[in-house]
Amino acid sequence: MSRSERLLNLLQVLRGHRRPVSGHVLAAETGVSIRTLYRDIASLQAQGAAIEGEPGVGYVMRPGFMLPPLMFGQEEIEALVLGMRLVADSGDRQLAQGALSTLAKIAAVLPPDMRRELEASALLVGAGRKALHTPVHPDLLRTAIRTEHKLRISYRDPAGAVSQRVVWPYALVYFDQTRVVMCWCELRDGFRNFRSDRITEAALLDQRYPKHRQALLKEWRRTEFVAGRSILPETDSIAK
Q: In Å, how far are 20, 29, 37, 64, 110 from 14, measured between CA atoms?
A: 9, 10, 12, 13, 22
Q: Any residues with CB less than 8 A from the CB of 219 and at least 6 apart, and which?
A: 191, 211
Single pTM value for the model: 0.62
Write out pLDDT tens, residues 168-180.
999 998 887 788 9
What is the residue-wise DSSP string for the chain?
--HHHHHHHHHHHHHT-SS-B-HHHHHHHHT--HHHHHHHHHHHHHTT--EEEETTTEEEE-TTPPPPS-PPPHHHHHHHHHHHHHHHTSS-HHHHHHHHHHHHHHHHHS-HHHHHHHHT----PPS-PPPPP-SS-HHHHHHHHHHTEEEEEEEE-TTS-EEEEEEEEEEEEE-SS-EEEEEEETTTTEEEEEEGGGEEEEEEEEEEPSS-HHHHHHHHHHHHHHHT--SS--GGG---
Confidence at residue 17, expressed as pLDDT on a 0 to 100 scale: 85
Cα angle, residue 236 at apex, residues 143 and 87 outer, rounded to 5°: 40
In a domain? residue 48: yes
Instruction: Check whether residue 52 and residue 111 sit in a common domain.
Output: no
Q: In Å, how far are 4, 46, 108, 160, 217 from 114, measured between CA atoms?
A: 12, 21, 10, 52, 37
Structural domain total, the chain: 3
CATH number at 12 reads 1.10.10.10
Write out pLDDT tens, residues 162-206.
999 999 999 998 887 788 999 999 999 999 999 999 999 999 999
Confidence at residue 204, expressed as pLDDT on a 0 to 100 scale: 97
Instruction: Check whether residue 175 and residue 227 sit in a common domain.
Output: yes
In a domain? residue 126: no
Give me the sign of the Cα torsion angle 127, 128, 133, 134: negative
Instruction: Check whether residue 177 and residue 228 sit in a common domain.
Output: yes
Where the chain has pLDDT below 70, the residues are: 1, 64-71, 91, 109, 127-132, 225-240
Q: Which of 36, 61, 86 is the last residue of a domain?
A: 61
Instruction: Check whether residue 184 and residue 223 sit in a common domain.
Output: yes
Confidence at residue 88, expressed as pLDDT on a 0 to 100 scale: 83
Q: Backbone dihedral region of 64: left (phi > 0), alpha (psi from -120 to 50 degrees) or beta?
A: left
Which residues constitute the domain of residue 110? 74-119
Confidence at residue 234, expressed as pLDDT on a 0 to 100 scale: 44
